[in-house]
Amino acid sequence: MKTTTASRRLAYRWARAGMTLIELMMVVVILGVLAGVGAYTYSSYLRRSRSQEARTMLASIASREEAYRSEFSTYCAAGAMGTPTSLGLSNAWPTSAPTGSRVPFLGTSMPSEWLQLGFRPTGDVRYRYVVVVGAPPTAPPSPYDSGFTSAPNQDLWFVSEAYGNLDADSVVSTFGIFSGNSNTLRIVNETE
């Protein structure tokens, strides 16, 4: 009689050790939420790491501009078509960017001003770049013109911007650097 009771207890424990349908559904929901948060976090991390290209390239452009100025006593304007006089996506190079994938920066139709500046990325790029230059009394374009006056103590200036669209939607991120502001980076819609 003892063995029958023991086997019944064991069978009862095994039956109770399983999961109910509600418990199983709760586990699936929790795993789904964790997977969704993980996917969003990963894609956000990926966009932020890819946006590092713009920061690095603008810093390189700024150092090239300063070297160019020390040699030629002026800054070098560069864009998609000759010497650009205004900022904007339509004036930036390469013309096939911005997309979610990389495009070649160097090519046969590349404007010579980029070569003159000495700016040659080591690989393909995800952003478009433009450099606009000026001298007093010409003010830099907005929003870089804050505090700029045509007083005699004003200096030559350059503004460089990078435009990207890493997730291929209608929102374009803009990174900008202005020589008159200690080359501080200005960012709009960093990860779109």
pLDDT-based confidence at 132, cuts 50/70/90?
Answer: very high
pLDDT-based confidence at 84, cuts 50/70/90?
Answer: confident
Residue-wise pLDDT for 96-114, tens only, equals: 877 777 888 888 788 889 9
> Are 132 and 85 within 8 A, CB to CB?
yes
CA distances from 79 to 8, 58, 100 (A): 83, 13, 21
CB contact set of 96 (below 8 Å; sequence gap of 6+): 103
Residue-wise pLDDT for 64-77, tens only, equals: 999 999 999 999 99
15 has a pLDDT exceeding 70: no
E-only strand ranges, 26-181: 127-134, 157-164, 173-178
Q: Is the dihedral of CA 122, 125, 127, 132 positive or negative?
A: positive
E-only strand ranges, the chain: 127-134, 157-164, 173-178, 185-188
Residue-wise pLDDT for 134-179, tens only, equals: 887 788 888 877 766 666 657 888 999 999 888 778 888 889 998 8
DSSP state, residue 140: P
Bridge partners (DSSP) of residue 177 are 160, 185
pLDDT-based confidence at 117, cuts 50/70/90?
Answer: very high
